[in-house]
Amino acid sequence: MKIISKLILFILLIIFIFITYLSLIGIETKKFNNQINSKIKNFDKNLELDLKKIKLVLSPFDLSFKVKTLGPRLLNNDKTLDIESIRAQISLGSLMNSNFAIENLEISTKSLEINNLISFIRLSHQTPELYILKCYFSFNL
């Protein structure tokens, strides 16, 4: 009986250490890069995200992972948009169901010129509003 209780205590201690490590330090991986790129391809087939390593940190009270990557680039045809960081939250339930639901997506860009941003957006969305906005900023800068 003592051996079984020590074994159970040891297993619980290992699980506690593992959850603490994932909550405080997290892990870096490239495992989700293909899934993220496929989600972006569903939005626009010409859009591509050049990701580096993604850091996953467990949020045990929310039952989710906080995801963060630094220095990715967004590519569309021959145009590039440098991004400072991307942060999101992925629920554990969606990972268990292979559903991969991204919540609370935050994208922070580096400093960029408004004309470059409008040109980049116009590659995906050809709307008259963006054309007028591009003309306005071209003449007023």
Note the pLDDT tens digit of each residue in 43-71.
777 778 888 888 989 988 888 889 888 88
Q: What values do phi and psi take at 58, rounded to 5?
A: -75, 135
Domain count, the chain: 2
What is the C-alpha separation between 58 and 123, in angstroms, rounded? 36
pTM, rounded to two decimals:
0.67
118 has which bridge partners?
none
Range of weakest confidence among 17-21, 30-34, 53-57, 128-132: 128-132
Instruction: Kindly state whether residues 67 and 134 are assigned to the same domain.
Output: no
Instruction: Give the mean model confidence (pLDDT) for residues 91-99.
Output: 76
Range of weakest confidence among 9-13, 27-31, 82-86, 137-141: 137-141
| pLDDT at residue 83 greater than cutoff 70 | yes
Range of the domain at 126: 112-141
Residue 69 neighbours by CB distance under 10 Å: 21
Do the domain assignments include residue 59? yes
Do the domain assignments include residue 10? no
Instruction: Kindly state whether residues 83 and 125 are assigned to the same domain.
Output: no
Compute the residue count for the chain.
141
